[in-house]
């Protein structure tokens, strides 16, 4: 059983918080998934299989030439920010 404190630590690392009852639901969900993952670990010789991270090798994929393509203007990049100063996103002071 995973402790609630540990879950709180992960939430903090991910920069959000949850309500107490939400941690309880999460704890239950974790227990189910971890139990199922335990079963996976028991599949014979699983450690010898090469992990698959993409569906198949795409032979058409190659690096493009290093030439300038379309890009966003500064105005476009800042269009959805709430505060700007001198063409930059404004946030509270980092260095006191």
Partner 1 sequence: MYRGLNITQLRDKIDNEGISPEEIFESTNKLAHQLQDEYNSFVTIIDKFKMKTTNKTLLSGICYGLKDNISTSNILTTSSSNILKDYIPVYDATVYKKLKNAGAVLVGKTVLDELAMGGTGTTAHTGIVRNPWDKNRMIGGSSAGSASAVALGIVPFAIGSDTGDSIRKPASFGGVVGFKPTYGRISRYGLFAFASSLDHIGTLTRNVHDAAAVVDIIKGLDPNDMTTLKDDNKNYVSSLENDIKGKKLFYIKEICDKKLYQDSNDEVMLKILDEFHKMLDKLRNQGFIIEEVSIDKQLLEALYPTYMSISCAEATSNNANLTGIQFGPRNDGSSYQEIMMKDRTLGFSELIKRRFILGSFILQKENQEKLFLNACRIRRLIVDKINELFKDYDGMILPASGSIAPKFDDSSEKLSEKYLILENHLVIGNFGGFPSITLPFTMIENMPVGINLTGRVKEDDLVLNMANYIEKVTGLSDIYSKVGDSNEV
Binding site for partner 1 (CB under 8 A): 2, 7, 10-11, 13-19, 22, 25-26, 29-30, 32-33, 36-37, 39-41, 43, 46-47, 49-56, 58, 60-64, 69, 72, 76-77, 79-83, 89, 91-92, 94
Nearer to partner 1, 1 or 40 (CB): 40
Q: How far is the CB of 30 from partner 1 (least distance, A)?
A: 7
Taken as a whole, the chain contains a residue count of 96
Distance CA 12, CA 51 (A): 30
Distance CA 23, CA 7 (A): 7
Distance CA 11, CA 23 (A): 10
The number of beta carbons lying within 10 Å of the beta carbon of residue 57 is 7
Nearer to partner 1, 16 or 86 (CB): 16
């Amino acid at each position: 059983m995973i402790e609630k404190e540990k879950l709180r630590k992960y939430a903090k690392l991910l920069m959000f918080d949850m309500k107490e009852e939400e941690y309880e639901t999460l704890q239950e969900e974790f227990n189910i998934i971890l139990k199922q993952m335990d079963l996976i670990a028991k599949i014979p010789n699983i450690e010898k299989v090469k992990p698959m991270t993409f569906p198949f090798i795409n032979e058409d994929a190659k690096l493009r030439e290093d030439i300038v393509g379309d890009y966003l203007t500064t105005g476009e990049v800042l269009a959805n920010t709430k505060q700007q100063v001198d063409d930059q996103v404004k946030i509270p002071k980092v260095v006191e």
